[in-house]
Structure 1
Amino acid sequence: MANNLLISLLQICLLFLSFSTCALGNLPKFHVVDLHALTSKNVCSPPKDMERFKSVKPALKMVDRHGPCSTLQPAEKLSLKQILSNDQSRVDSIHHRVSAISGKGTTSGPLSPSQITAQSGNSYSVGNYIVHVGIGTPSKTLTLVLDTGSDVTWTQCKPCQRFCYTQQDPIFDPSQSSTYMNVTCNSTPCNDVNNNSCSGSTCLYGVQYGDGSYTVGYYAEDTLTLTPDVIQNFRFGCGQNNKGIFGEIAGLLGLGPSSESFVSQTSDKYQRVFSYCLPPVSSSTGYLNFGSNSDTSNTNRTPMKPGPFYYYLTMTGLSVADKTLPISPTVFSKPGTIIDSGTVITRLPPDAYQALKSAFRENMTQYKMAQSYSILDTCYDFTGFDNVTIPSVGVQFENNVSLDLDSNGILYPISNTQACLAFAGNSDPNDMGIFGNVQQSTFNVVYDIPKGEIGFSPDAC
């Protein structure tokens, strides 16, 4: 009876209010969700706050590379199952990498010239969001995936001695740039590259992803243009041997914490501060900002520690319908948590995910459950519904920072009538938790490395 009353009140709320979220007296908070708003349209929508976007420089427009806002036109569009499968490959790679740096293996140290020629691989989801930057003099526009879990920025370069995958932009030709130079072997910048070697006096780099996909080539420097800013002597990988199906991108913009990343190389100009807003659906646009313009007045900040390869923060709890779940903080603190722009679905420790799943299902008994979909196991059949009421989901971090997730961060649409809880559990309680990009969507996420903080402000795009 009480549950029916709640549903009736929520329906009244939807009828008379234009908000997507309603808090009714002392009743738990629920979201009233238009199912059509969860799915992408066939046309691109402009930034939500166009005036703010125009006023902040450099503000790079950021879009989902699979959506209608993207300039990429892959020959074959990835299915949702392929995207989620690639996402699991990325997570497996992160867990392996974290395990290695914790003493269970090794991923660092210089490579010999024979080792740096990596083995061939398949598609690897290096990230979902793209920006356009210029490289060289004169500047050539290239489409790069941004990735907070990678450090080396790289692009394919002519003459591609062995392999180049198909990309939409013309492949960068260093011989046509008056400011291009190879980095010298045994120099400090060369030694800073995690996987490096030498060819004569020239520094070589190598980046190999979790499934075996790779880029190998010359470590070089050239002019990087982020309109209107120009970065001189920016170091990047000029890929000569590249293998993998990267979705026609030209390369990657590395926003990780290490010394060779874009963030570290531009520290004098942008003070190692950047922010982004990931759009809620692939037909919307977001942004990537650098420097002091990255912050907003209503940013809630939690401590962050730049570690090897990733940005670490402390998750402390979860809530469903404004009710904090009974999860011991050690469940989160023991494995730790990173924030990652390239992981799609947030991964939680098994006990935390079980508590979240159970509470969510208890608040969704009015809807018919559907079969699991790939890595998602709490799915619903909404046939016959245009709008549904779902419980709010909150994620808590250290320093009493609590994020009330956007509805797009709670439900992951599978079709026009089916959606799933947009979280997954790790199989091992010792595996690192990952705060993924679906849950970050619509927040202005500020990385303030000098202060050791990550900030979140809602409803930014």
Structure 2
Amino acid sequence: MCRCTKSSGHCYKQEEPIFDPSKSTTYSNITCKSALCSQLRSAPGISPGCSTSTCIYATQYGDKSFSIGYFGQEKLTLTSNDVFNSFLFGCGQNNRGLFRGSAGLLGLGRGKLSIVSQTAQKYGKYFSYCLPSSSSSTGHLTFGKNRVSSTVKFIPLSINSQGPSFYFIDITGISVGGRQLSISSSVFKTAGTIIDSGTVITRLPPAAYKALRTTFRRQMTQYPMAQPTSVLDTCYDLSSYSTVTIPTIGFFFNGNTYIDIDASGILAGSSASQFCLAFAGNSNASDVGIFGSVQQGTLDVVYDVAGGKLGFGLGGCA
């Protein structure tokens, strides 16, 4: 978030220092008549506007959070050797929603304005990350090929005209407790699936989720069920147990690749009395599936965008 006053809009308390463009010698606002302002139209969900000749952006996210502010450019320094002049970004003045004190959002999609595209000349549209299983562990976000392990398994990335900025992947099957579920591969092809670090819980086609839920519940009958919460409908009260055994869950992808989900990506809970299966079903078969951040936890997720590949590596972080 940029310097924000009561008159400029809604401000929230963030953990990191607020960026004040008036104190920067390298920041400048984009003007309304600039061709750069029109680039906002290429970004999904962003509309350009104008205020006293200054280009304004407005965007709303899937959870109804929104951000409105100035479209500007600044010198971005990642390391002493990795400096990007005229880096384009939004300087938020009116921000409302589930930002949880974060200093901002980093776009990693295919769009022209994402950091992936703006740093392509240096990093070749190649990046990786690992999302830790808890706040006490450390993950990473790495641009370039520096951290890629030889054990990473790659699957094809595809582009869908319905969402050209997203990364589409082909799920072909799911296993529970070491056995593949009886789900037709066509179930996953109807609307396709994207991988998205900004979506928390994986969303599956209705038929796939029903099969997953049924088998998971069958293998968890020794534990008492608890009330469902939000979109999570398979919950358990584990407060009376010192140890818990849960069935493994894994995914099959195009390219004959299989990945086991970490235990932290199978059950999610706010307390011992309510742990829930960390998956949800879409309302309709025509809704796009999403492979969310909880299920990506502890994996090294490697994006070779230029090469059209996505990689998974086990044990990328704890």
Using structure 1 for the length normalisation, give the TM-score: 0.63
- What is the aligned partner in structure 2 of residue 124 from structure 1? none
- What is the aligned partner in structure 2 of residue 358 from structure 1? 214
- What is the aligned partner in structure 2 of residue 235 from structure 1? 88
Map of 1:59-458 to 2, 5 A cutoff?
A: 155-158=1-4, 161-168=7-14, 169-194=16-41, 195-199=47-51, 201-210=53-62, 212-228=64-80, 229-244=82-97, 246-306=99-159, 307-458=163-314
What code does the residue aligned with 1:407 have? A
CA-CA distance at 1:232 after TM superposition? 1.7
CA-CA distance at 1:200 after TM superposition? 5.4
- Secondary structure at the residue paired with 2:294? helix
- What is the aligned partner in structure 2 of residue 88 from structure 1? none
What code does the residue aligned with 1:297 have? S
What code does the residue aligned with 1:321 have? G
User: How many residues in Structure 1 have an aligned counterpart in Structure 2?
Assistant: 307
- Secondary structure at the residue paired with 1:376? coil
Partners of 1:212 and 1:437 in 2: CA distance? 19
What code does the residue aligned with 1:278 have? L
Partners of 2:6 and 2:110 in 1: CA distance? 29
Partners of 1:246 and 1:391 in 2: CA distance? 33
The share of aligned pairs that are identical, in percent, is 52
Alignment CA distance shift 1:318-1:245 (3 Å)? closer
Partners of 2:64 and 2:201 in 1: CA distance? 22
Alignment CA distance shift 1:255-1:160 (3 Å)? farther
Partners of 1:368 and 1:216 in 2: CA distance? 46
8 Å contact from structure 1 (residues 156, 164) kept in 2: no
Alignment CA distance shift 1:345-1:242 (3 Å)? closer
Partners of 2:276 and 2:12 in 1: CA distance? 34
Q: CA RMSD in A?
A: 2.0
Partners of 1:213 and 1:299 in 2: CA distance? 35
Structure 1 residue ranges, 4+ long, deviating more than 6 angstroms after superposition: none
- Secondary structure at the residue paired with 2:199? coil
8 Å contact from structure 1 (residues 320, 394) kept in 2: yes
What code does the residue aligned with 1:189 have? L
Unaligned runs of 5+ in 2: 42-46
Partners of 1:373 and 1:158 in 2: CA distance? 35
Which has the larger displacement, 375-384 or 336-345?
375-384
Partners of 1:443 and 1:313 in 2: CA distance? 16
CA-CA distance at 1:238 after TM superposition? 1.8
Partners of 1:415 and 1:433 in 2: CA distance? 28
Partners of 1:205 and 1:456 in 2: CA distance? 34
Alignment CA distance shift 1:414-1:159 (3 Å)? closer
- Secondary structure at the residue paired with 1:242? strand
Q: Which has the larger radius of gyration?
A: 1
- Secondary structure at the residue paired with 2:121? helix
What code does the residue aligned with 1:198 have? C
CA-CA distance at 1:190 after TM superposition? 1.8
What code does the residue aligned with 2:286 have? N
What code does the residue aligned with 2:13 have? Q
Unaligned runs of 5+ in 1: 1-154
Partners of 2:25 and 2:128 in 1: CA distance? 32
What code does the residue aligned with 2:292 have? G
What code does the residue aligned with 2:114 have? S
CA-CA distance at 1:211 after TM superposition? 5.5
CA-CA distance at 1:363 after TM superposition? 1.7
Partners of 1:158 and 1:224 in 2: CA distance? 21
